[in-house]
Amino acid sequence: MEYTKLCIDNKTVHVIQTKKFKTVAVQVRFKNILDQATVAKRGLLPFVLRAGTQKYPTSAAIQEQLEYLYGASFHVGVEKKGNVHTQYFNLSCVNDKFLPNNQTVLSDLFAFLGEVLYAPKLHNSMFEFTIVEQEKRVLMDKIRGIYDDKLQYSLMRLIEEMGAGEPFAIRAYGTLEDVAAITPEQLIESYNSMVNEDEVEIYLVGDIDSTQAEKLIYQTFKKTKGIHVEQRVKSSKIIEKETQIIEKQSVTQAKLIMGYRTQTFFGDEDFFSLRVMNGILGGYAHSKLFLNVREKESLCYFASSRIDGNAGIMYIYSGLDTEKVEDAKHLIIEQLTAMQNGEFTDTDIAMTKLAMKNDVLEILDSATGMMSFYTSINDMGVDWNVSEWLMAIDTVTKEQIIAVANKLQADTTFILTSQENN
């Protein structure tokens, strides 16, 4: 595997050359500031673009073209990281080297991508009303699905309360009300902003060299201002005391979500210490939360923790019977206190490091995983290869883990419980 980073026409291009796959995968990322005023329109736009182009005016026509390209795949979506809202377009096709009779498909795939991005299906210079309304309904159903998944809902509510007034509290797809209010006129403004102003990143994975990649990029993409957006958001919030929010619904299982400020971000010197600490606390099946809270005391159906390196946040989340919430919270805090006091073994550290390194190697088994890995490297602002990433895990010491655990500040706890629970 060989990684090359290029700058082509004000776009950052990441070429991950590997013979591991018989396909070539492409991801295009349009990045701009995460803003409540634009997030719903940006969240809807990729799905409207996917619904039809001038050359392929229907979803059926798009699917027919993908089949013609030897069963190429095409997916779109949005994500948020820190201060950045990203619209992504993922495509994959068989590598030309595996086609019979010297046939080619990669150049046609890029031509299809250019059609999606720069020749959308319009009526009177606007997106068609029926397509916009159709995709709005689908997106609104997706948002409603969050309310049905009580763990997702509880995490969303914690983030909203904990991050009130901060970018990371904004939902990636906006609210139901925001989506319902979108008009074709607003959406074309959002589209023009995307193609003319967004920062653009392109990832290519497969047996493809930088020269070939550069040629395809020049042929496909228009010039853009490419305004750089700083992803990490270091909060200036002062926590005087922990906030606890209790919400009651018609549920049989409670959700306990605890939010902490880590004071540590992607690219910080102690970021990998934080990751190892999180792994020992609640990242794996050998973690303190799993063994002590779930298995030993049977207080939770699940108990885990994870970190957001862009927002400087750690979440501890669990599902449990409503009458066990206070006992579980107390025991969870005990586990964190144990981490701060250094009450964990060299075996705990070794097992966590091994699990983290296995996670990396497993991710690299897919083209999508490779893109995700190098996205993380770029998020950190470092120029590392896989070996250097693994070394950063290996060099974390017990003292560093204790130090980063003691930086944690309890911010907000969100409890979703039953209406009958007092």
CATH number at 396 reads: 3.30.830.10
Tokens of 101: 């009779």
272 vs 219: CA distance, rounded Å: 40
Classify residue 275 by its DSSP letter: H
For residue 362, the model assigns a pLDDT of 95
Token pair of 345 as six digits: 């073994």
Helix (H) or strand (E) holding 308: strand 302-308
Q: Where are the beta strands (DSSP E) in 59-186?
A: 73-81, 84-94, 122-123, 126-127
Residue 233 lies in a domain: no
pLDDT attached to residue 300:
96
Q: Which domain range does residue 411 map to? A: 243-418
237: in domain: no
CB 89 within 8 A of CB 76: yes
Give the angle 45-51-56 at the CA atoms, nearest 5°. Answer: 130
Residue 227 counted as domain residue: no
Same domain for 34 and 82, yes or no, is yes
β-partners of residue 360 are none
Residues 202 and 247 occupy one common structural domain: no
Domain shared by 310 and 187, yes or no: no
Claim to verify: residue 250 and residue 287 sit in the same structural domain: yes
Flag whether 183 is in a domain: yes
The DSSP letter of residue 120 is B
The whole-number pLDDT of residue 422 equals 62
Residues 208 and 261 occupy one common structural domain? no
Q: Is residue 252 part of a domain?
A: yes
Residues 393 and 273 in one domain: yes
pLDDT at residue number 232: 63
Q: What predicted TM-score, i.e. pTM, was given to this entire model?
A: 0.93
Integer-rounded Cα radius of gyration of the chain: 23
279 lies in some domain? yes
pLDDT of residue 376: 86
Domain assignment of residue 211, yes or no: yes
Looking at the structure, tell me whether residues 169 and 291 fall in a common domain: no
CB 363 within 8 A of CB 372: yes
Domain assignment present for residue 110? The answer is yes
Together in a domain, 39 and 122 = yes
- Starting at the edge strand found earlier in the chain, the sheet holding 243-249 runs 243-249, 409-418, 254-261, 313-320, 302-308
Q: What is the pLDDT of residue 37?
A: 95
- On the CB side of 202, CA atoms within 13 Å amount to 25
252 and 201 part of one domain: no
Domain's final residue, options 189, 220, 251: 220
For 297, the token pair is 């005391």
pLDDT by 10s per residue, the chain, length 422: 899 999 888 899 999 999 999 999 999 999 999 999 999 999 999 999 999 999 999 999 999 999 999 999 999 999 998 889 999 999 999 998 999 888 889 999 999 999 999 999 999 999 999 999 999 999 999 999 999 999 999 999 999 999 998 888 999 999 999 999 999 999 999 999 999 999 999 999 999 988 888 899 999 998 777 677 766 666 667 788 999 999 999 999 999 999 999 999 988 999 999 999 999 999 999 999 999 999 999 999 999 999 999 889 999 999 999 999 999 999 999 999 999 999 999 999 999 999 999 999 999 999 999 999 998 888 777 788 899 999 999 999 999 999 999 999 999 999 999 988 66
Asked if 325 and 186 sit in the same domain, the reply is no
Same domain, 273 and 201: no
The pLDDT value recorded for residue 378 is 83
Name residue, tokens 């599902």. 319
Domain count, the chain: 2
CA angle 294, 297, 300 (to 5 degrees): 35
